[in-house]
Copies of this chain bind each other. A is one copy, B any other.
């Protein structure tokens, strides 16, 4: 992520030994969150079935939150002196989320897809939280994102139990 000629452009207040872990955690989270927003939008359009409206609306709430987190994570990267990479090819190559279908999909299936997508994002996020303890600012940001993703995971999983 961190371009060679970017080194030294910005001051980083993160302890030197934490810089790499922080950089990796932010870049991985950025990719997963962008993909989460695209996956949720895809499902927003593809869903069919009796629960169409309810799920169509719930998906946009995921999109809204994911987009807000994307910006917070990317701007935390810049604040530690690194240019984040949120390009479509990078997202397509590095996301922790499974590829989803672009065909019309039943509401039951969409519920499972979203539950799995959130689970994949939370797992990598939780793992990264454990690695960035030396920069409490980044740690706090990722904890806050996990709090909301875990809440959303409950809301989606609750629809299929």
Judge if A122 is at the interface, Cβ distance under 8 Å: yes
> How does the 8 Å CB contact mask read for A115-145 relative to B, with 1 for contact and 0 for none?
0000100110010010000001101110110
CA distance A57 to B159 in the complex (A): 13
Jot down 7 A-B pairs with beta carbons below 8 A, ordered by A: A10-B158, A13-B150, A38-B87, A41-B74, A56-B155, A79-B151, A137-B146
Collect the chain B residues with CB atoms within 8 Å of residue A70's CB: 41
Judge if A21 is at the interface, Cβ distance under 8 Å: no
CA distance A22 to B158 in the complex (A): 20
In A1-52, the 8 Å CB interface with B consists of: 1, 3, 5-6, 9-11, 13, 34-35, 38-39, 41-42, 45-52
Copies of chain A in the complex:
12
Dominant secondary structure at the A interface: helix
CA distance A34 to B102 in the complex (A): 15
In A59-102, the 8 Å CB interface with B consists of: 67, 70-71, 74-81, 83-92, 95, 99-102
A residues in contact (CB < 8 Å) with B = 1, 3, 5-6, 9-11, 13, 34-35, 38-39, 41-42, 45-58, 67, 70-71, 74-81, 83-92, 95, 99-104, 108, 119, 122-123, 126, 129, 136-137, 139-141, 143-144, 146-147, 150-151, 153-155, 157-161
Least CB distance from A109 to B in Å reads 13
CA distance A56 to B50 in the complex (A): 14
Taking a contact as CB atoms under 8 Å apart, the answer to whether A6 and B92 are in contact is: no
